[in-house]
Structure 1
Amino acid sequence: MPVLTIAFPVFDPVAFSIGPIAIRWYALAYIGGIVLGWIYARSLLKNERRWGGPAPITLVQLDDFILWVTIGIILGGRTGYVLFYNPIFFIQHPAEIFQLWNGGMSFHGGFLGCVAAVMLFARLNNIPILSLGDITTAVAPIGLFLGRLANFINSELWGRETDSSVPWAMVFPNGGPEPRHPSQLYEAGLEGILLFAVLAVMVRMGALKRPGLILGSFIAIYALARITSEFFREPDPQLGFLWGGLTMGMLLSVPMIIAGAILIMMAWRRETQHIEKSI
């Protein structure tokens, strides 16, 4: 083991137990992300200056939406993992599709599930889809940050092999004897802290007044952050590297850059048209 390699601080994946029920850190990350995101979203809706007037979504509607988006994230995340990352295994073992406690969630699938929840809830409640998407994605980095920390605690989704020139390289308990990048922490920083900070600054600068701008920015910036982190993350063993050394995470993120850019351009164009009409 290289001299500068850091020993992985082994954590118990179970945070605490209540009788026979074990509460895992990963479950707490989901719960914490949803609760903290809900609190932050409520504060944004209460601030009329951020919207240029009353928010197009009421607090009661937001409270009702939480259940919808939770279901969308879980169903979408699991479905995405089954279809994108391990379809052959689950065809052979269909009963394990429902065993969420064994792990296996896909961000891209969870995002699509979230999109479906936003569109359906907005239509049923006569809410602007883009504004609901903006408020949802403005708070999403909180959950992403906590989720990546849970990945680190669970010693899963670790990084690629490296050498002693990287002083923070770690040997993960189930990752073999080679030192590796702590890519979960890279993702927590890029997809969580950095993305949250950028979107928070945009919100303070009035981005919520341009429906779709926060949504498009989240999609594009997340995709760029994910592609960057994939250069340090070990690909899933059942998939390995794909064409030209690309990974599944990279391939799934490319369409997000395009979609995000389109939404950003539409948001800016819509605002320009509004200004011209008012003049």
Structure 2
Amino acid sequence: MNEYFLLPLASLPFPNINPILIQIGPLAVHWYGVGYIVGILFAWWYAKRLAANARLWPNGVLPMKPEDLDDFIVWAAIGVVLGGRTGYVLFYDLPRYIAHPLDILAVWQGGMSFHGGLLGVILAMTLFSIKRGIRTWSLFDVVAAGVPVGLGLVRVANFINSELWGRPTDVPWAFEFPNGGPFARHPSQLYEALLEGVVLFLVLRILTHSRLKLKTPRFVGGAFICGYG
């Protein structure tokens, strides 16, 4: 299909939601950042519930104490911020940050890489589990089970930011994104929010509670990687 024949008239109006949720002076709270924060808090809460449910674990032996996850949330937040920011700087706008290195610290201006944040959390999990004497894969499994919620929220924020839109199309649910050219495009962010967020979370929920796959180390974490990848 030739994209030049796709007319904007076939698209839905873009909602034009302000990417900034709240601004107090120079400090701006972006929807993108809120997605990260809510995602981290949900994953922490959900991981605690999984780790405390003896039915889900081999021989009913809990893999870690709830206090371990209370402490880990700090490590996870640091991993997300450092990894996400580093990934964005290196792979999305490196020339700018070479010219203005102090801008690297201006995280309130936006600019986070989800893949970088994910790698940061994986590193944090590895170091934390070694320090606490917890099985790394058990920690990875319980954390991964709740991550899709954050994924979905961040993808919705991508939609609000009018970024990561899809290919030109003439489907009736297409949007004409403000910075996507004169063509109606797939709202790929919303597709990913549904698939990586809702569907993947439900699949992992079935694996943890119906199939009891937390009794098989690496299974839930591996399923998350396969589903997200």
TM-score, normalization by structure 2: 0.90
Q: Which residue of 2 aligns with 1:152?
A: 159
Q: Work out the CA distance in 1 between the residues paired with 2:109 and 2:25.
A: 20
Deviation string, structure 1 residues 124-147 (Cα, Å, up to 9, x no partner): 111000101111111111110111
Deviation string, structure 1 residues 33-76 (Cα, Å, up to 9, x no partner): 11122221121122110113132111100000001011101111
Q: Work out the CA distance in 1 between the residues paired with 2:154 and 2:35.
A: 5
Q: Work out the CA distance in 1 between the residues paired with 2:162 and 2:109.
A: 14
Q: Which residue of 1 aligns with 2:123?
A: 116
Aligned pairs for 1:1-279 (under 5 A) are: 1-18=7-24, 21-52=27-58, 53-162=60-169, 164=170, 166-204=171-209, 205-223=211-229
**Structure 1 residue 214: Cα displacement:** 1.0
SS in 2 for 1:170: coil
Partner letter of residue 51 of structure 1? W
Structure 1, unaligned runs of 5 or more: 224-279
Structure 2, unaligned runs of 5 or more: 1-6
Q: Aligned residues, how many?
A: 221
Partner letter of residue 104 of structure 2? I
Partner letter of residue 184 of structure 1? Q
Confirm or deny: 8 A CA contact 2:10 2:184 kept in the other structure: no
Confirm or deny: 8 A CA contact 2:28 2:108 kept in the other structure: no
1:107 to 1:17, Cα distance in 2 relative to 1, 3 A: closer
1:96 to 1:19, Cα distance in 2 relative to 1, 3 A: closer
- Give the superposed CA RMSD: 1.7
Flag the structure with more relative contact order, 1 or 2, with Cα contacts below 8 A and sequence separation at least 6.
Answer: 2
**Structure 1 residue 212: Cα displacement:** 1.0
Q: Which residue of 2 aligns with 1:266?
A: none
Confirm or deny: 8 A CA contact 2:125 2:136 kept in the other structure: yes
Partner letter of residue 87 of structure 2? G
Partner letter of residue 176 of structure 2? V
SS in 1 for 2:179: coil
Partner letter of residue 71 of structure 2? D
**Structure 1 residue 101: Cα displacement:** 2.6
Identity across aligned pairs (percent)?
Answer: 52
Q: Work out the CA distance in 1 between the residues paired with 2:32 and 2:96.
A: 23
SS in 1 for 2:217: coil
SS in 2 for 1:16: strand
Q: Work out the CA distance in 1 between the residues paired with 2:24 and 2:43.
A: 26
**Structure 1 residue 19: Cα displacement:** 6.2
1:19 to 1:94, Cα distance in 2 relative to 1, 3 A: closer
**Structure 1 residue 96: Cα displacement:** 2.2
TM-score, normalization by structure 1: 0.74
Confirm or deny: 8 A CA contact 2:12 2:173 kept in the other structure: yes
